[in-house]
Copies of this chain bind each other. A is one copy, B any other.
Amino acid sequence: MIRLLIADDQALVRGALAALLQLEDDLEVVAEVARGDEVVDAAIESSPDVALLDVEMPGIDGLAAARLLRDAVPSCRVLMVTTFGRPGYLKQAMSAGASGFVVKDTPARQLADAVRRVHSGLRVVDPTLAAESLTQGDSPLTEREADVLQAARSGGTVAAIAGTLFLSEGTVRNHLSSAIGKTGARTRAEAVRVAVDNGWLLPH
Interface, chain A (partner B; CB < 8 A): 9-20, 23, 81, 83, 102, 104-109, 111, 152, 154-157, 185-193
Given A10-B105, A12-B111, A155-B188, 16 more contacts at CB 8 Å?
A9-B105, A11-B105, A11-B108, A12-B108, A13-B104, A15-B109, A16-B16, A19-B20, A19-B23, A155-B185, A155-B187, A155-B190, A155-B193, A156-B186, A157-B187, A188-B189
Known A-B contacts A19-B19, A189-B189; the reply to A12 vs B155 at CB < 8 A is no
Most buried by B among A13, A104, A156: A13
User: Can you give 17 contacting A-B residue pairs, CB < 8 Å?
Assistant: A10-B104, A10-B105, A11-B105, A11-B107, A11-B108, A12-B17, A12-B81, A12-B104, A13-B104, A16-B108, A19-B108, A154-B190, A155-B190, A156-B186, A156-B190, A157-B187, A189-B192
For residue A162, give the distance in angstroms from its CB to the closest CB of chain B.
Answer: 15
Task: Determine the chain B residues whose CB is within 8 A of the CB of A185 once the complex forms.
Answer: 155
In the assembled complex, the Cα of A20 lies from the Cα of B20 at a distance in Å of: 7
Known A-B contacts A14-B108, A104-B13, A106-B12; the reply to A192 vs B19 at CB < 8 A is no
Closest to A111 in B: B12
In the assembled complex, the Cα of A188 lies from the Cα of B190 at a distance in Å of: 12
- A108 & B189 in contact (Cβ 8 Å cutoff): no
For residue A29, give the distance in angstroms from its CB to the closest CB of chain B.
Answer: 12
In the assembled complex, the Cα of A11 lies from the Cα of B156 at a distance in Å of: 36
Task: Determine the chain B residues whose CB is within 8 A of the CB of A186 once the complex forms.
Answer: 156-157
A154 contacts which of B14, B104, B193 (Cβ < 8 Å)?
B193
A15 contacts which of B11, B12, B107 (Cβ < 8 Å)?
B107
In the assembled complex, the Cα of A17 lies from the Cα of B12 at a distance in Å of: 8
Closest to A14 in B: B108
Task: Determine the chain B residues whose CB is within 8 A of the CB of A23 once the complex forms.
Answer: 19
Task: Determine the chain B residues whose CB is within 8 A of the CB of A190 once the complex forms.
Answer: 154-156
In the assembled complex, the Cα of A156 lies from the Cα of B188 at a distance in Å of: 9
